[in-house]
Chain A
Amino acid sequence: MPALTAYVRGVGVIGPGISDWFALQAVFAGHAALASAPTAIPPLAVLPAAERRRVGNVIKLALATGLQTVAAAAADASSLATVFASSGGDGANCHAICETLASDDRLISPTRFHNSVNNAASGYWGIATGAQAPSSIICAYDGSFAAGLLEALVQAISEQRPVLLIAHDAPYPEPLRAVRPIADAFGVGLLLTAQASAAGQAQITLALTDETVNSLANAPLEALRQGIPAARSLPLLACLARLQRHAETGRVVLDYLDDVRLAVSVKAAP
Chain B
Amino acid sequence: MGSGLDALREALRANHSGLRPCQFADARLSTWTGEVAKVDATALPAALTRYACRNNRLARLGLMQDGFEQAARDAAARFGARRVGVILGTSTAGIFETELAYRQREPASGALPAAFDYRGGHNVFSVADFVRRALGLGGPAAVVSSACSSSAKVFASAARLIDSGVIDAAVVGGVDSLCLTTLYGFNSLELLSAEACRPFDSERDGISIGEAAAFALLERPAGALPADAVLLTGYGESSDAHHMSSPHPDGHGARLAMAAALQRAGLSPAEIGYINLHGTATPSNDAAEGNAVRALFGSRTPASSTKGASGHTLGAAGGLEAVICAIALQDGLLPGSPGTRHADPAIGLDYVIAPRSAALRHVLSNSFGFGGTNASLVFSRGDACRP
Q: Which residues of A contact B (CB under 8 A)?
A: 1-2, 4, 51, 54, 87-89, 94, 97-102, 106-110, 112-120, 122-124, 126-127, 129-141, 144, 147, 150-151, 154-155, 157-159, 174-176, 178-180, 208, 256-257, 259-260
Contact = CB atoms under 8 A, between A and B. Distances in A.
B166 A4 contact: yes
A132 B240 contact: yes
14 contacts: A4-B166, A108-B181, A114-B371, A116-B181, A117-B369, A118-B146, A122-B146, A129-B241, A132-B241, A147-B141, A150-B142, A176-B118, A180-B123, A259-B138
A158 B163 CA distance: 8
B144 A137 contact: yes
A98 B99 contact: yes
B248 to A, nearest CB: 9
A262 to B, nearest CB: 9
A197 B140 CA distance: 30
Contact of B82 (A120, A155, A179, A208): A208
A126 B161 contact: no
Interface residues of B, number: 64
Nearest to A206: B166
Contacts of A179: 112, 116, 118
Nearest to B29: A106
B146 A101 contact: no
Contacts of B122: 176, 180
A130 B189 CA distance: 25
B329 to A, nearest CB: 25
Interface stretch (B102-110, B209-217, B283-291, B337-345): B102-110
Contact of B164 (A138, A140, A158, A260): A158
A102 B186 CA distance: 17
B112, B140, B237, B243 interface centre (most CB from chain A within 10 Å): B140
A106 B180 contact: yes
A139 B86 CA distance: 12
Contacts of B49: none
Contacts of B82: 208, 260
B87 to A, nearest CB: 9
Given A117-B147, A124-B371, A176-B118, 8 more contacts: A1-B164, A114-B370, A117-B145, A132-B252, A134-B239, A136-B157, A144-B125, A176-B112
